Amino acid sequence: MPIYEYYCANCKVEYEAIRPASQADSPVPCKTCNQPGERQLSTFSFKSNTFTAPKLKPATGAKRSYTVEGQTDS
């Protein structure tokens, strides 16, 4: 099952949830305040012993529509 990232605007916390793809867009309650969070776009990753992934540039950081306290953009 995929891991999805969520953001709670109420308590400004990011969290993850393992869910079936069929429930990807269903709200997930925040682990801190129990309010529904907003699903975030995130990068895709997988590991394979037989497939060689194309050479990609390293990620420079998450692109979010909000600012997390204590973090600065690169």
pLDDT one-digit tens code per residue, 54-73:
666 666 666 666 666 665 55
Q: What is the pLDDT of residue 25?
A: 83
Q: What is the pLDDT of residue 56?
A: 66
pLDDT one-digit tens code per residue, 4-33:
899 999 999 999 999 898 988 888 999 899
Quick check: pTM over 0.75?
no
Question: Bridge partners of 38?
Answer: 7
pLDDT exceeds 80 at position 51: no
Domain ranges of the chain: 3-40
Please provide the distance, in angstroms rounded to a whole number, between the alpha carbons at the two ends of the chain.
Answer: 31
